[in-house]
């Protein structure tokens, strides 16, 4: 049963049956519960079909011709149309933006959705991790700027009020539910791979589920760390989350292409033990540690192999494991 097809007054009684310690989050927690129910009713094949079908059909070539007015396609009509609220540029390669959020759009922390722009009357969509919290009233995204990229060469120029298309069926593997219970959670990211972790760091559940949460973030230049650093500070200073996260959330940022107090690739920092020495904690152990990975394809492949060699089992929506992986982008 899809809850967004129910009249709003049928959802409300369910909402207030949920018991939760922090009253301000009662409504938002129940929204998440609704989202979990909806996703649970689709199996993996259905989710993949939803995603792949959209990705294939909605990827027109880089259009250079003048826009031609066309009637919206059936697929386009099913997309949500959100308005850009604000944009923040960090470097010549990275920016973030917020949009309005249609109330019926539900997602779980760590998921991605197909989002984009209408170009020449057709949707031009790409996979984007959702950075905002499941309870926020807006949607937030953290984006690369690829100079010749079909989408981001345009997306980087958006202004408040512009329209962003969003497929209302998010998916993804970086979910708390895909991990077995553990004591420490390591979130390993490079570049825009931090995006799904922004949403997870804003989710009170991860601080309930783990004794310690380590965000380990690698970029080429120190200026590229700004978005992740800002999110982490916001979480620590948040009036409700801050209390939960204060003693548990640890941020370790490393830079590869210029001097910085932590330097080197995440894979090397794990392999040579530097990461753990700097943090003053023991190295990875499959018994107690759980890991989520999102970054460039080489990094994700190497980390998958390194964890496999340490007896970590990869988790999925069918069998929870010790680690889960999502590529931050696909190599073409």
Ligand X SMILES: Cc1cc2nc3c(=O)[nH]c(=O)nc-3n(C[C@H](O)[C@H](O)[C@H](O)COP(=O)(O)OP(=O)(O)OC[C@H]3O[C@@H](n4cnc5c(N)ncnc54)[C@H](O)[C@@H]3O)c2cc1C
Residues 151-180: x/- map of binding to ligand X (CB under 6 A)?
xxx---------------------------
Pick the binder of ligand X from 142, 186, 207, 214 (CB under 6 A). 142
User: Would you say 14 or 329 has its CB closer to ligand X?
Assistant: 329
Distance CA 208, CA 203 (A): 9
Residue 47 structure tokens? 């989710």
Please list, in sequence order, all residues whose beta carbon lies within 8 angstroms of the beta carbon of residue 325, skipping any fewer than 6 positions away.
173, 292, 293, 294, 300, 303, 304, 314
Beta bridge partners, 321, equal: 179
Q: How far is the CB of 8 from ligand X (least distance, A)?
A: 30
Give the nearer residue to ligand X in terms of CB position, either 112 or 186: 112
**Residue 191 found at the interface with ligand X (CB under 6 A):** yes
In the bound state with ligand X, the residue whose beta carbon lies nearer, of 107 and 142, is 142
- Decide if residue 146 touches ligand X (CB under 6 A): yes
* Shortest-Cβ-distance residue relative to ligand X: 149
Which of 132, 143, 232, 302 contacts ligand X by CB under 6 A?
A: 143
Stretch that binds ligand X, among 42-50, 124-132, 160-168, 178-186 (CB under 6 A): 124-132
Which residue number, 80 or 328, has a Cβ lying nearer to ligand X? Answer: 328
Which residues 6+ apart lie within 8 Å of 159 measured at CB? 84, 87
- Three-state SS for 18-56 is CCCCCHHHHHHHHHHHHHHHHHHCCCHHHHHHHHHHHHH
With contacts defined by CB under 6 A, name the span among 179-187, 188-196, 197-205, 310-318 that binds ligand X: 188-196
Q: Does 111 bind ligand X (CB under 6 A)?
A: no
Length of the chain, in residues: 332
Contact region with ligand X (CB under 6 A), list: 24-32, 126-134, 224-232, 235-243: 126-134
CB 46 within 8 A of CB 169: no
DSSP 183: S
In 69-129, alpha helices (H): 74-77
Smallest gap from Cβ 191 to ligand X, in A, equals 5
Q: The tokens 């979990």 sit on which residue?
A: 36
User: What residues line the site for ligand X (CB under 6 A)?
Assistant: 112, 126-129, 142-144, 146, 149-153, 191-192, 195, 326-332
């Amino acid at each position: 049963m899809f809850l967004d097809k129910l009249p709003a007054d049928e959802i409300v009684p369910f909402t207030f049956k949920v018991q939760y310690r922090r009253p301000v989050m009662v409504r938002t927690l129940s929204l998440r519960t609704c989202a979990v129910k909806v996703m649970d009713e689709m199996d993996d094949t259905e989710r993949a079909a939803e995603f792949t079908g959209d990705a294939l059909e909605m990827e027109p070539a880089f259009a250079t011709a003048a826009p031609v007015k066309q009637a919206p396609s059936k697929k386009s009509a099913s997309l949500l149309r959100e308005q850009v609220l604000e944009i923040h540029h960090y470097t010549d390669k990275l920016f973030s933006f917020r949009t309005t959020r249609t109330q019926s759009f539900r997602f779980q922390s760590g998921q991605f959705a197909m989002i984009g722009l209408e170009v020449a009357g057709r949707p031009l969509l790409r996979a984007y991790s959702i950075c905002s919290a499941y309870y926020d009233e807006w949607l937030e995204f953290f984006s690369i700027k690829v100079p010749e990229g079909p989408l981001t060469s345009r997306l980087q120029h958006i202004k408040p009020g512009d329209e962003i298309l969003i497929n209302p069926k998010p998916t993804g593997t970086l979910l708390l539910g895909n991990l077995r219970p553990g004591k420490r959670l390591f979130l390993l990211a490079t570049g825009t791979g931090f995006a799904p972790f922004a949403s997870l760091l804003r989710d009170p559940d991860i601080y309930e589920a783990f004794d310690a949460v380590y965000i380990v973030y690698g970029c080429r230049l120190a200026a590229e760390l700004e978005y992740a650093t800002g999110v982490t500070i916001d979480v620590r200073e948040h009036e409700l989350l801050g209390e939960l996260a204060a003693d548990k959330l640890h941020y370790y940022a490393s830079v590869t292409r210029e001097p910085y107090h932590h330097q080197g690739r995440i894979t090397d920092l794990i392999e040579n033990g530097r990461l753990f020495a700097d943090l003053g904690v023991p190295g990875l152990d499959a018994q107690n540690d759980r890991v989520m990975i999102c970054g460039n394809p080489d990094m994700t492949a190497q980390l998958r192999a390194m964890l496999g060699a340490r007896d970590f089992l990869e988790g999925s929506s069918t069998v929870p494991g010790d680690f889960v992986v999502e590529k931050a982008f696909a190599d073409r």
